[in-house]
């Protein structure tokens, strides 16, 4: 007891320095996760006192909610398509850009990174995919004679999910992309030279045996960023496909959560959705990290 | 072609493959840049060019009309547009500066000292990078209403101060600072706060800019979410949504506002690019 007290006394400055950040972090991140987990076992509509219902919310979610199944299917599609594609794209473009001379490199980095920080200019895509003949894609296809009348891109179940994916990819070269470019620039040059002496013949071998293993920490970090983003698709879906989207074709777990949390006020049920989302995200992150440990072996 | 790539002779590189890779990069670069170039063009199009058939990508007769219309719209709206701009600036500036200060203060002990609970705290922060803010949206609303912050700017600013990615990047960057510097300051009798403020902070300037680049666009694009209801507290991003919903008559003004919204974060990135790259090099995660 006395030792702990002494230990606290010795590091009190550290706790004091960390306290403002940590108080807010716990208040708005850590505690809410715990609350959300607890609340998922209750029926709560913001008006009456919460009523304990046990596993009922989860049972309803997995056994009795067809819309959730659509949302889950779409979200997993995002996770297995846009997640890996954006991750690989981040790396490939960073890898090519790294070979360029400094001025061109800075310019290219800006081109690829700009969409992710351009303040959600989805509206550009709304005009491109607009369903009338003034829409750029329709106008182009009609002029070229591919189609005779405009296609309702954003109101057609066949296209909408693919369109949301394209726009999501366009926006996804963000933090991980920068981390990869920066990581590539810090690779030890002597390693590359030693590799050449040891018989590395071309850039592809260099990539697999030297570049990727040296970048493992950044690859880990980038994976976390891209996976979390691909599971969290919601705003883009709402901006492009509306809320709810046509026949729930672009519905995701997050939009489902919004539906029950901000429209129907079924807070217990929405918390169950949030808890499932939490475990989905953490689980896939952990799984991916395990896979990435095998890079370069 | 050669001078696009690095000039010195490099190992294992052949010109044909270089050219092929550069063509791939240029093609995708065009895909990335076109919507942005289009947004710039649109802002300067007169209304008849915005609704021309077949639609044209580039502007033919550039005009500043959309921006003039925006100014006149500012004057006539129920809440003047300057109010939306002021709200957005308030949220982004306080949110960004505060986040940099708080995250740095929390990162210094974690990066440079070992004490009871330091390891576990940092792993919680890393774990929170692995899920998005949507997970906590509902309890957050309850926490907000319990604090009485619903419909205040604090509801947007305060949670953003403890953005976990900022702490993570700041801590990774601070670990590079030599321990000898801190030891020397200690011997000279500096307090921990003094060390943080006079030695650590000046040394992590690149990381400040990185945190700014990550935090600024997030707040800049915030529309007030589910926390802000009063019209006079809403942000520019929300106002843009309203203008775009105005339909054909407002299409030109919408394009002008979108350009203004887009230009600010991109300009900030151009200014701080080299510092951002320096910080990102240390962003790695240990297994």
Please say if the pLDDT value at position B5 is more than 70.
no
Q: Which residue of B has its CA nearest to A286?
A: B130
Contact status, residue B133 vs residue A285, Cβ threshold 8 Å: no
Please say if the pLDDT value at position B287 is more than 70.
no
Contact status, residue B193 vs residue B109, Cβ threshold 8 Å: no
Please give the residue that has the higher pLDDT: either A19 or B243.
A19
**Which of A32, A102, A125 to mutate: most B Cβ within 10 Å?**
A32
**Nearest to B212, CA basis, from B118, B101, B122:** B101
CB contact under 8 A, B125 and A186: no
Q: Which residue of B has its CA nearest to A23?
A: B162
**Residue numbers of A between 237 and 266 with CB closer than 8 Å to B:** 254, 257-258, 261-262
- Chain A residues with CB under 8 Å of B270 CB are 110
Contact status, residue B226 vs residue B141, Cβ threshold 8 Å: yes
**Residue numbers of A between 35 and 64 with CB closer than 8 Å to B:** 35-36, 39
The rounded distance, in Å, linking the Cα atoms of B202 and B197 is 8
Residue B242's pLDDT band (boundaries 50, 70, 90)? confident
Q: Which residue among A10, A111, A181 sits closest to B33, beta carbon to beta carbon?
A: A111
pTM score of the predicted model: 0.87
Please give the residue that has the higher pLDDT: either B206 or B122.
B122
Q: What is the pLDDT of residue B73?
A: 75
**Cα dihedral across residues A18, B207, A122, B41: positive or negative:** positive
**Cα dihedral across residues A260, A262, A264, A269: positive or negative:** positive
Q: Cis before residue A244, ω within 30 degrees of 0?
A: yes
Q: What is the pLDDT of residue B7?
A: 46
Degrees to nearest 5, angle at CA B227 with B222 and B233: 70
Q: What is the pLDDT of residue A90?
A: 93
DSSP string, A114-177: HHHHS---THHHHHHT-SSTTSHHHHHHHHHTS-SS---GGG-HHHHHHHHHHHHHHT--SHHH
Q: Which residue of A has its CA nearest to B135?
A: A274
Please give the residue that has the higher pLDDT: either A129 or B106.
B106
Spans of all domains in chain B: 14-63, 71-282
- Chain B residues with CB under 8 Å of A202 CB are 12, 14
Q: What is the pLDDT of residue B11?
A: 63
Two tokens, residue B239? 């106002």
Contact status, residue B138 vs residue A256, Cβ threshold 8 Å: no
Rg (CA), chain B: 24
Q: What is the pLDDT of residue B232?
A: 80
Two tokens, residue A22? 């940590």
Judged by DSSP in three states, B167 sits in: helix
**Residue numbers of A between 96 and 125 with CB closer than 8 Å to B:** 96-97, 99-101, 104, 106, 108-115, 117-121, 123-125
Q: Which residue of B has its CA nearest to A284?
A: B130
The rounded distance, in Å, linking the Cα atoms of B167 and A293 is 25
Contact status, residue B204 vs residue B177, Cβ threshold 8 Å: yes
Cβ of residue A178 closer than 8 Å to a chain B Cβ = yes
Q: What is the pLDDT of residue A120?
A: 63
Two tokens, residue B123? 């792993």
Stated length of chain B = 287
**Residue numbers of A between 182 and 241 with CB closer than 8 Å to B:** 182-183, 185-186, 192-193, 196, 200-203, 205-206, 215-218, 220-221, 224-225, 227-229, 231-232, 234
Q: How far is B75 from chain A (nearest CA, A)?
A: 24
CB contact under 8 A, B221 and A281: no
Q: Which residue of B has its CA nearest to A140?
A: B54
Q: What is the pLDDT of residue B247?
A: 63
CATH of B71-282 given 1.10.3720.10, 3.40.190.10, 3.40.630.30, 3.30.70.2860:
1.10.3720.10
Two tokens, residue A29? 């991140």
Contacts 24+ apart (CB under 8 A), B197-204: B200/B104, B200/B108, B200/B112, B200/B174, B201/B104, B203/B177, B204/B104, B204/B170, B204/B173, B204/B174, B204/B177
- For B18-87, what is the HEC assignment? HHHHHHHHHHHHHHHHHHHHHHHHHHCCCHHHHCCCCCCCCCCCCCCHHHHHHHHHHHHCCCCHHHHHHH
CB contact under 8 A, B281 and A27: no
* Mean pLDDT taken over chain B: 84
Q: Which residue of B has its CA nearest to A136?
A: B55
Full pLDDT tens readout for chain A, 297 residues:
777 788 778 788 889 999 999 999 999 999 999 999 999 999 988 788 888 998 999 999 899 889 999 999 999 999 999 999 999 999 999 999 988 888 888 899 999 999 888 866 677 788 788 777 777 788 878 888 888 788 888 888 888 889 999 999 998 888 889 888 888 888 888 888 888 888 888 888 888 888 888 888 888 899 999 999 899 888 888 888 878 877 888 898 999 998 888 888 888 999 999 999 999 999 999 998 888 877 655
Q: Among B181-185, B248-252, B264-268, where is mean pLDDT lowest?
A: B248-252
CA distances A60 to A56, A68, A260, A269, B138, Å, are: 6, 10, 13, 9, 19
The pLDDT tens digits of the residues spanning B67-87 come to 888 878 777 777 777 888 889
Average pLDDT over residues B106-127: 90
Q: How far is A285 from chain B (nearest CA, A)?
A: 7
Cβ neighbours of residue A203 closer than 8 Å, sequence gap 6 or more: B12, B13, B17
Two tokens, residue A31? 């505690």
The rounded distance, in Å, linking the Cα atoms of A255 and A185 is 39
Q: How far is B45 from chain A (nearest CA, A)?
A: 14
């Amino acid at each position: 007891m006395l030792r702990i007290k002494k230990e606290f006394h010795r590091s009190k400055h550290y706790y004091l320095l960390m306290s403002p950040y940590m108080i807010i972090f716990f208040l708005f991140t850590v505690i809410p996760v715990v609350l959300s987990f607890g609340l998922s076992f209750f029926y709560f509509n913001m008006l009456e006192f919460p009523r304990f219902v046990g596993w009922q919310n989860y049972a309803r979610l997995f056994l009795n909610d067809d819309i959730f199944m659509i949302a889950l299917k779409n979200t997993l599609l995002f996770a297995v398509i846009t997640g890996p594609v954006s991750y690989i794209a981040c790396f490939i473009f960073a890898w090519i850009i790294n070979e360029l001379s400094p001025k061109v490199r800075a310019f290219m980095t800006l081109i690829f990174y700009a969409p992710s920080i351009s303040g959600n200019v989805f509206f550009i895509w709304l005009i491109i995919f607009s369903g009338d003949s003034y829409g750029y894609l329709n106008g182009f296809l009609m002029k070229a004679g591919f189609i005779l009348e405009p296609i309702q891109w954003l109101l057609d179940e066949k296209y909408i999910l693919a369109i949301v994916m394209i726009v999501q990819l366009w926006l996804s070269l963000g933090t991980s992309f920068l981390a990869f470019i920066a990581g590539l620039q810090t690779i030890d040059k002597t390693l590359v030279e030693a590799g050449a002496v040891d018989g590395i013949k071309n850039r592809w071998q260099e990539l697999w045996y030297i570049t990727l293993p040296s970048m493992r920490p950044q690859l880990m970090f980038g994976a976390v960023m891209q996976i979390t983003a691909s599971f969290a698709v919601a705003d883009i879906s709402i901006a492009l496909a509306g809320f709810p989207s046509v026949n729930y074709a672009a519905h995701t777990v997050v939009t489902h959560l919004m539906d029950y949390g901000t429209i129907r006020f079924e807070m217990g049920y929405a918390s169950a959705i949030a808890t499932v989302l939490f475990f989905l995200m953490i689980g896939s992150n952990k799984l991916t990290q395990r896979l990435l440990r095998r890079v370069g072996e | 072609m050669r001078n696009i790539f690095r000039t010195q002779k490099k190992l294992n590189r052949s010109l044909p493959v270089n050219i092929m890779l550069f063509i791939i990069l240029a093609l995708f670069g065009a895909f990335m840049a076109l919507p942005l170039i289009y947004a710039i063009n649109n802002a300067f199009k007169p209304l008849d060019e915005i609704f021309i058939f077949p639609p044209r990508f580039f502007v033919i007769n550039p005009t500043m009309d959309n921006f003039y219309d925006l100014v006149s719209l500012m004057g006539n709206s129920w809440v003047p547009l300057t109010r939306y701009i002021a709200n957005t600036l308030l949220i982004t500036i306080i949110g960004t500066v505060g986040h940099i200060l708080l995250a740095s203060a929390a990162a210094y002990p974690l990066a440079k000292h070992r004490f009871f609970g330091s390891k576990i705290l940092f792993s919680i922060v890393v774990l929170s990078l692995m899920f998005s803010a949507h997970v906590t949206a509902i309890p957050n609303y309850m926490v907000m209403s319990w604090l009485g912050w619903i419909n205040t700017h604090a509801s947007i600013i305060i949670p953003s101060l403890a953005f976990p990615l900022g702490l993570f990047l700041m801590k990774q960057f601070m670990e590079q600072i030599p321990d000898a510097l801190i030891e020397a300051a200690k011997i000279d009798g500096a307090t921990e706060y003094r060390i943080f403020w006079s030695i650590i902070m000046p040394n992590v300037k690149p990381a400040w800019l990185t945190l700014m680049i990550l935090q600024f666009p997030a707040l800049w694009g915030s529309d007030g979410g589910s926390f802000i209801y009063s019209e006079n507290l809403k942000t520019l991003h929300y106002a843009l949504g309203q203008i775009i919903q105005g339909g054909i008559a407002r299409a030109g003004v919408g394009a002008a506002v979108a350009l203004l919204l887009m230009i600010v974060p991109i300009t900030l990135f151009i200014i701080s690019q080299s510092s951002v790259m320096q910080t990102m090099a240390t962003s790695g995660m240990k297994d």
